[in-house]
Amino acid sequence: MLSPRKVKYRKQHKGRMKGTAYRGSDLNFGDFALKATECGRMSAAHIEAARITINRKIKRGGQMWIRVFPDKPITKKPAETRMGKGKGVPEYWVAVVKPGRILYELSGVPEELAIEALKLAGYKLPFATKVISRSTTI
């Protein structure tokens, strides 16, 4: 699963997800894309699950681009631990996703297959998404 090779600080604050994703909101590489319409956190496991779904649907051929990277560590306290005694240990990595963010791009695949594959990938994610194509955007 995706994770940073090295980080400066092991733990981060929770943060807030405000506004929309002005960066990374355009189709840049492929012809079809999965776009987030809500904000949320996409863990490395989500990214991998959706990637496998797309690959299983398109079988072979085509090219895929993953446009998000999980660079935020999420900590968790062990079970049955009393509150306090400091912040928990990093458990997994997430990508913070804002509405409008492109998540995956596809090219070299027939239109119906690409749309179906991206739609199935969208079901794996914890926020609402939509499929867009180059022919329907300005």
Q: Is 51 exposed, middle or buried (0-12, 13-18, 19+ CB in 10 A)?
A: middle
Nearer to another protein among residue 53 and residue 105 (C-beta): 105
Nearer to another protein among residue 21 and residue 94 (C-beta): 21
Nearer to another protein among residue 59 and residue 130 (C-beta): 130
Kindly state the tokens that stand for 96. Answer: 């913070």
Nearer to another protein among residue 79 and residue 136 (C-beta): 136
CB of 81 to another protein, least distance (A): 40
Kindly state the tokens that stand for 15. Answer: 């943060």
* Longest CA–CA separation in the chain, Å: 55
Amino acid letter for position 63: Q
CB of 30 to another protein, least distance (A): 13
Applying CB under 8 A, the residues found at the interface with another protein are 20-22, 25, 35, 37, 99-101, 137-138
Q: Are 39 and 97 in contact (CB under 8 A)?
A: yes
CB of 40 to another protein, least distance (A): 14
Task: Please give the Cα distance from 97 to 36 (Å, whole number).
Answer: 7
CB of 23 to another protein, least distance (A): 9
